[in-house]
Structure 1
Amino acid sequence: MIPAPLTAPALAGIPHGFLGRTGGVSTGAYASLNTGIGSHDDPALVAENRRRAVEAVVPGARLVGLYQVHGADCVTVLEPFADGIRPQADALVTDRPGLALGILTADCAPVLFADPAAGVIGAAHAGWKGALAGVTDTTLLAMEALGARRDRIVAAIGPCIAQGSYEVDAAFRARFIADQAEADRFFADGAAGHAHFDLPGYVAHRLARGGVRTVAITGADTYADEARFFSYRRATHRGEGDAGRQISIIGLG
């Protein structure tokens, strides 16, 4: 059985959840709720995990997901994708009940959005590349095109790698400062030539800069909490080669 997903009070009344790695049927390095289609896990097990995840959050809804590419493109979903179709993008929005928007992560930040008054929702995959490129901004624009208003949109940032676990080099830091000098406040000095990056803090900053008044951060660290979450960086550091993916879901019932 899947444990109760993490939820955000800011999204109260909107079916949503940030799921972890437990409650599924996968085994070994993918134990147990691996929802990553692109992993080397058994596709039948991944399909069952994805079914369980949807039923835990938006029972009876049709899951729609993406081929995530660490970019800033957003897809407006008006009906379920055809079987086997996953557009290359990193965010999706809808105003249609019966759809469950799903984002896969394993250290990157999942972001769930809603304007309850307009009946418009969104979900975004914000790794550092997508966050810097403006994936949250394109999500807000797509929601506005469906009738949402920025002053009503609320957003929640789910489990992702935390600053203490996210060591980066000087070139990485320079990219963000070149885009916006004040972004330097999201870096803490580390060993010589290195720093620690606050990904959820930066994503929250981009959302606030984009006009979102209510932004929640779950605070869970995917790298440090091995019992609850998959982590691509942790698997890489251990030379494991591949990692499972957890899923974050939002729907309109």
Structure 2
Amino acid sequence: MVELLRAAGLGDVLHGFAGRRGGVSTGVHAGLNVGLGSEDERDAVLRNRDLARDALLPGATLVTVHQVHSPDAVTVTAPIAADERPAADAMVTNRSGLILGILTADCVPVLFADASAGVIGAAHAGWKGALGGVTDRTIGAMEALGAGRDRIACAIGPCIGRSSYEVTLDFAERFAAADAENDRFFSAGREGHCQFDIAAYVAARLAGAGIGQIELLDEDTYSQPDRFYSYRRSCHRGEADYGRQISMIALRD
């Protein structure tokens, strides 16, 4: 069975954060690997994408993008073929029957909804995209469809946790250079390193943009190998590749 985690703050909006449970992939990709960019068998990935879709809204169309760690958001008005995915890291729509899907394997998945306006969004916030403003771009694209940022609710799904995310001091300096207050998202680590709370950083970016309702699921992908894929964990284990999980949101007909 596909496991879908829900966020109470998104109310009745159809959504779910899937992990690796369920699915037909085997080996290092075992479970619900939906990553077309992985080295998994393509037929297995396509089957997993269908299983994820049907777990949320059977018969709907799953839409994803070619994620490139950018701040770019696209507006989706129609289905997009898997081989024609635009390079972007966020999507918004006001059309029913389309599932917006974001793939992650440690990065931060963010789902957005203005239920009263009938506008939804989904963003992939790795550290580059988060720092570059992918969540701000998503909010702006939603506003262009009639959403109001004072009405938008956001949910931050499973991602790498602070205790698992060791970075260098030079890495932390990039964030301090953007805003001195970003120091609060880094805590002391071993010599020359610190621990980064990327979920809290993304939440702060959302709050700073005027989003008043933000929910963090607080699920660490790295430390739960039976439930989630993790790029960093795969690297530490010396595995040849890694799977990707999907976070989805859709409007009811």
TM-score under structure 2 normalisation? 0.98
Note the residue ranges of structure 2 that are not aligned, 5 or more in a row.
none
Q: Equivalent residue of 2:22, what SS?
A: coil
Q: Which amino acid aligns with 2:172?
A: R
Q: Name the stretch that deviates more: 78-87 or 220-229.
A: 78-87
Structure 1 residue 83, shift from structure 2 partner: 5.0
Q: 1:50 aligns to what?
A: 49
Structure 1 residue 241, shift from structure 2 partner: 2.7
Q: Which amino acid aligns with 2:2?
A: I
Q: Does 1:28 align with 2:27?
A: yes
Q: Equivalent residue of 2:129, what SS?
A: helix
Q: 1:223 aligns to what?
A: 222
CA contact (8 A) 2:189 2:195 kept: yes
CA RMSD, 1 decimal: 0.7
Q: Does 1:149 align with 2:161?
A: no
Output the CA distance in 2 between the equivalents of 1:89 and 1:241. Answer: 26
Query: Which runs of 4 or more aligned residues in structure 1 lie more than 6 Å from their structure 2 counterparts after TM superposition?
Result: none
Q: Deviations over 1:9-57 (max 9, x none)?
A: 0111100000000100011111111000000001001001000101111
Q: Deviations over 1:204-240 (max 9, x none)?
A: 0000001100000000000001110000000011111
Q: 1:92 aligns to what?
A: 91
Q: 2:205 aligns to what?
A: 206
1:53-92 equivalent positions in 2, closer than 5 A: 53-82=52-81, 84-92=83-91
Q: Which amino acid aligns with 2:89?
A: D
CA contact (8 A) 1:103 1:249 kept: yes
Equivalenced residues, count: 252
TM-score under structure 1 normalisation? 0.98
Q: 2:130 aligns to what?
A: 131
Q: Which amino acid aligns with 2:223?
A: A
Output the CA distance in 1 between the equivalents of 2:134 and 2:226. Answer: 29
Q: Name the stretch that deviates more: 55-64 or 76-85.
A: 76-85
